[in-house]
Amino acid sequence: MEIINYFAELAGSLPKLLNQIPGAAAQGLIWGIMAIGVYITYRILDVADLTVDGSIATGGAVAAMLIINGWSFWSAMCVAFLFGMLAGLVTGIFHTSMGIPAILSGILTQLALYSINLRIMLGKANTAVSVNKYEMLVSSRYVRELSLENPMFPLIIITVLLVIVMYWFFGTEYGSSLRATGSNQAMSRAQGINTESNKVFGLMLSNGIVSFSGALLTQYQGYADVNMGRGAIVIGLAAVIIGEVVFGKLKPMRGIAGKLLAVSMGAIIYYLVIQVVIWMGLNTNDLKMLTALVVAMFLAFPHWKAKLAARKAAKEGGSVRA
């Protein structure tokens, strides 16, 4: 009887879930932009960068303070992008010039950014940006409206434009050298590529994109918070892995543009799954644990698939010899 009552309650609250899906999709698009930045370091450069937990909050803090002080949202987002690039530059210098491992370099920069973000927000842990007072590109207030103010439209346009620009960039000579650096550093150096400067620029580009997404997130939720980036790297990795697992076998998704789109859609899927799980009654305090489990499962999936394929091949080989 308890199970029947549970599913009856779920069925009754289905309209509530459907009402929340647009908001989850909009958040997924914003975090999908962040995940594209994570993809650049994690997949293209093959560098584990934890700076993003701090740089996304930096972008949000910068955008909030500039918008409050009369800057346009476009100007605020551009400055946020530059601040993110500076954060990536610091991580790159730690890693290449000081010889600190990439993962520790990111942790050090992330730690420093906490204090910097507090200073940007004049010592406050959070700063509100009301859509009633300031003009903003996106806002959660309009997420359920079928109008041009719906944040889905500008977010989709920004995502597509970003993918186009990244597709063009990684097709250039310098972009190709960046990809070569991540694929094989020794061979890249043998070809005369400066792998150290490539790493620094890749980290700058990645964190610039992450910070830009932080500026969008601040506008969407109506405030910037010093802790808004906590766990961002896990969400970014979840989006990357989900995108690869779900869309990796599709031919249109095998090029760099397709992979970046897959990453963005992976973030949307992640937030939709989270929304469904909350709808099913999960305690919101367990969301971080759920995120960790989702990422672990998707990371393990390719490994399990490879092991099953190897066992199948071994069995077929044994039967042929017999």
pLDDT higher than threshold 60 for residue 271: yes
pLDDT for the residue numbered 253: 78
Question: What mean pLDDT do residues 239-254 have?
Answer: 82
Confidence of residue 222 (pLDDT cuts 50, 70, 90): very high
pLDDT higher than threshold 60 for residue 74: yes
pLDDT higher than threshold 70 for residue 1: no
CA gap 71, 228 in Å, rounded: 22
The average confidence (pLDDT) of the chain is 87
pLDDT higher than threshold 90 for residue 191: no
Closest among 5, 63, 67, 38 to 234, alpha carbons compared = 38
Confidence of residue 10 (pLDDT cuts 50, 70, 90): low
pLDDT tens per residue across span 277-287: 777 777 777 77
- Domain residue ranges of the chain, discontinuous segments joined by +: 25-269
Question: What mean pLDDT do residues 269-291 have?
Answer: 79
pLDDT higher than threshold 80 for residue 50: yes
pLDDT higher than threshold 90 for residue 214: yes
pLDDT higher than threshold 90 for residue 3: no
pLDDT higher than threshold 60 for residue 95: yes
As given in the structure block, the two tokens for residue 269 are 């899927």
pLDDT higher than threshold 90 for residue 245: no
pLDDT for the residue numbered 321: 55
Closest among 228, 234, 197, 271 to 50, alpha carbons compared = 234
Comparing 124 with 6, the larger pLDDT belongs to 124
pLDDT higher than threshold 80 for residue 243: yes
Confidence of residue 101 (pLDDT cuts 50, 70, 90): very high
Asked if 141 and 150 touch (Cβ cutoff 8 Å), the reply is no
The CATH number corresponding to 25-269 among 3.30.2400, 3.30.70, 2.60.40, 1.10.3470 equals 1.10.3470
Comparing 299 with 317, the larger pLDDT belongs to 299
pLDDT for the residue numbered 131: 82
What SS3 state is found at 133?
coil
What per-residue string of b and e applies to 89-114 under the rule 16 or more CB within 10 Å gives b? bbbbebbbeeebebeebbbbbbeebb
Confidence of residue 24 (pLDDT cuts 50, 70, 90): confident
pLDDT higher than threshold 60 for residue 49: yes
Confidence of residue 234 (pLDDT cuts 50, 70, 90): confident
DSSP 99: -
CA gap 309, 307 in Å, rounded: 5
pLDDT higher than threshold 90 for residue 110: yes
Confidence of residue 144 (pLDDT cuts 50, 70, 90): confident
